[in-house]
Amino acid sequence: MSSMKHIDNIPSTPGKFKEKSNYHRLRLNFSVAKLTFWSFVFLGLIFVCFFRSPSSSSSSSPASSDLSRRSLRTSSYDGPAWEKRIKASAKIRSRNGISVLVTGAAGFVGTHVSSALKRRGDGVVGLDNFNDYYDPSLKRARQTLLENAGVYIVEGDINDATLLKKLLDVVQFSHVMHLAAQAGVRYAMENPSSYVHSNIAGLVNLLEFCKNANPQPSIVWASSSSVYGLNTKVPFSESDRTDQPASLYAATKKAGEEIAHTYNHIYGLSLTGLRFFTVYGPWGRPDMAYFFFTRDILKGKSISIFEGANHGTVARDFTYIDDIVKGCLGALDTAEKSTGSGGKKKGPAQLRVFNLGNTSPVPVSDLVTILERLLKVKAKRAVMKLPRNGDVQFTHANISVAQRELGYKPTTDLQTGLKKFVRWYLSYYVDGKKSAQ
């Protein structure tokens, strides 16, 4: 009972305790002494933080320094010359053309989509933070490619609120193609915060600006086949369960789909998520298996080929970049207008999600056989058990919904697509004498 009383005497909020007994007066004096002591400690801490030498911040953890590197990489912007470049890049040159902000424009899919849009006369402005998740010189080369095609890439991060506001003030984009993301399934175990930074915080920041814009743009964005996670029903259909992600990467993409639902529901933003299935091709990503297998086979280095339990096949529904680009353009062209304005919803808006795959999974060992044939070099194969780092054993897209609604119809098989990739790889790295990292 007495212990109960003691618990009752503990104030729920500091400062609400008003007992006046001697015992409590004594305690009060003691508390004043303690308070004075802790005030000094607190002031001391403020002093230390305030006058800390700048060099000490460089000793922060790799993850936090990585985050600051990503978000502070924004180069100077603003000014009439900057605005002029953006407006020129955003200029629509065809009848019924659209003006698109492409985030992640120096990325693999971003470069291809930007140049396809520009080719058909749409206005395109790119945005990219040029982070060093993989060799930034490849991103710079893609940037040059786009510059020559008349696409300007603004250097900045999707988390940079000031930059986004400025951009959306300069151009009234009819569409946003949101491809900026922290990609890669296995890297999520090394640098988890980079996935939260780009795929969650960055997405929310972008949607905040889109929702406030007047008129609001329609948004098409990159989700991933990895959202199917441990789903065993094949082929994967959009209505299948996606609540068992096998990696943090997949979890952030799934979170993105839920965030899209919220912004559609509250603010009337038109949102279309595209679940890409292992996209490959020229100007691809060096962190992907087909790319570093090519590099390592040519270098005579051994490559790890994963297999499931009991020698189970590991396979992917590899999808060629040109097919993906057609799917992206189809999604942009069929996107309905957002219904809100200035942050207020006016009526229900479109919310879609589509699989963009190839519908024919290929075992990873077959991918290697095709590469050996194209490179005319025998691979040093090291077969090993699929590591428990987020990889799933099998992906296979059902694309009937995208076929019906976007006119999406992939036409490139892995053999044909890899031939084009290898041709590009050899001309870029071997003939171009660049070192593949």
Please give the residue ranges that form the binding site for ligand UGA (CB under 6 A). 183-185, 224-226, 276-278, 288-289, 304-306, 314, 316, 364, 391
Residue 107 or 123 having the CB closest to ligand UGA: 107
- Find the shortest distance in angstroms from Cβ 360 to ligand UGA: 14
- Find the shortest distance in angstroms from Cβ 43 to ligand UGA: 48
- Find the shortest distance in angstroms from Cβ 134 to ligand UGA: 11
Q: Under a CB-based contact definition with an 8 Å cutoff, are residues 217 and 101 in contact?
A: yes
Distance (Å, whole) CA 248 – CA 243: 12
Residue 152 or 277 having the CB closest to ligand UGA: 277
Q: Under a CB-based contact definition with an 8 Å cutoff, are residues 289 and 297 in contact?
A: no
Label residue 350 exposed, middle or buried (CB < 10 Å: 0-12, 13-18, 19+).
Answer: middle
- Find the shortest distance in angstroms from Cβ 206 to ligand UGA: 18
- Find the shortest distance in angstroms from Cβ 313 to ligand UGA: 10
Residue 195 or 209 having the CB closest to ligand UGA: 195
- Find the shortest distance in angstroms from Cβ 357 to ligand UGA: 8
Residue 83 or 296 having the CB closest to ligand UGA: 296
Residue 350 or 360 having the CB closest to ligand UGA: 360
Kind of pairing between the strands at 175-178 and 152-155: unpaired
Query: Catalytic positions, please?
Result: 249
Structure tokens at 95: 């009848």
Q: Could you count the other beta carbons within 10 Å of the beta carbon of residue 25?
A: 11
Distance (Å, whole) CA 219 – CA 206: 10
Residue 304 or 341 having the CB closest to ligand UGA: 304
Q: Under a CB-based contact definition with an 8 Å cutoff, are residues 328 and 220 in contact?
A: yes
- Find the shortest distance in angstroms from Cβ 108 to ligand UGA: 10
Residue 156 or 357 having the CB closest to ligand UGA: 357
**Can you give 131-173 as a three-state secondary structure string?**
CCCCCHHHHHHHHHHHHHCCCEEEECCCCCHHHHHHHHHHCCC
